[in-house]
Amino acid sequence: MKPYSMRSFDIPSQDATALGDWARRRSVWLIGIGVLMCVIGVVALGNVIASTFATVFALGWLLIVGGVMHGFAVFTAHRWNMALLDALAAVLYLVVGVFALRQPAYAALMLTAVVATIFMISGIMRVIAALAIAPPHWGWVAVHGIVSFALGSVLYYSLPNSALYFPGLVIAMDLTLSGASLAALGFSLRRLTRAPEAEVKEPIGEKRPAA
């Protein structure tokens, strides 16, 4: 019986070469998509009001597509209660989506108001949990709750002005940071593929036949 060795898990040189080629191709795609997202994010940061309206329009179309899909699901549901839920969801998605496309300013206002309310409620709940339960590092939890409540309050009491820039600012920052992360991942993967390949060693206990 051959003794156990981690060398038995070594990747053959042919498979390692194929894996390296695959990783290099994927790294190029990651870098390209990341740079493109960074460019779009920086452009969006330059005009957050236009980014807000673009975000609302995109959300409206996504809701309409979701409503249509729920409408098709009504005819494929096996039970009447599931069909009823799909029908209600389809109507709700379609109404909200059409409203967002026809009234983007009011849709951005409602979206910002909902986000501000969520921030304030989550901030209060975090502070209460930190004081009542006292989890590990409860001070940081309380600080997080205070910051969330303060951010929600600023957004809520600065309406309707904050509705013009907040959604676009969030999307622009998310695109920029996500693009930078993807590009960094692509460059890291590319550096790994350039590393010298490890020599494939024979497993312990095996010997080559004598010439």
Amino acid type, 10: D
Cα separation of 42 and 37, whole Å?
9
Cα separation of 78 and 83, whole Å?
8
Q: What is the pLDDT of residue 202?
A: 46
- Could you tell me which residues come within 8 angstroms of residue 7 by beta carbon, excluding any fewer than 6 positions away? 201, 202, 203, 204
Cα separation of 140 and 127, whole Å?
10
Cα separation of 107 and 53, whole Å?
9
Residue (of 208, 151, 189) closest to 26 by Cα position: 189
Are 201 and 7 within 8 A, CB to CB?
yes
The pLDDT averaged over each successive group of 10 residues in the chain (211 residues) is 46 49 70 87 86 89 90 79 84 91 88 88 87 76 85 85 83 84 80 55 50 49
Q: What is the pLDDT of residue 34?
A: 85
Q: What is the pLDDT of residue 5?
A: 46
Are 141 and 149 within 8 A, CB to CB?
no
- 57-91 core/surface letters (b: 16 or more CB in 10 A; e: else): eebbeebbebbeebbebbeeeeeeeeeeebeebbe
Cα separation of 110 and 162, whole Å?
11
Q: What is the DSSP string of 55-101?
A: HHHHHHHHHHHHHHHHHHHHTT-SSHHHHHHHHHHHHHHHHHHHHHH
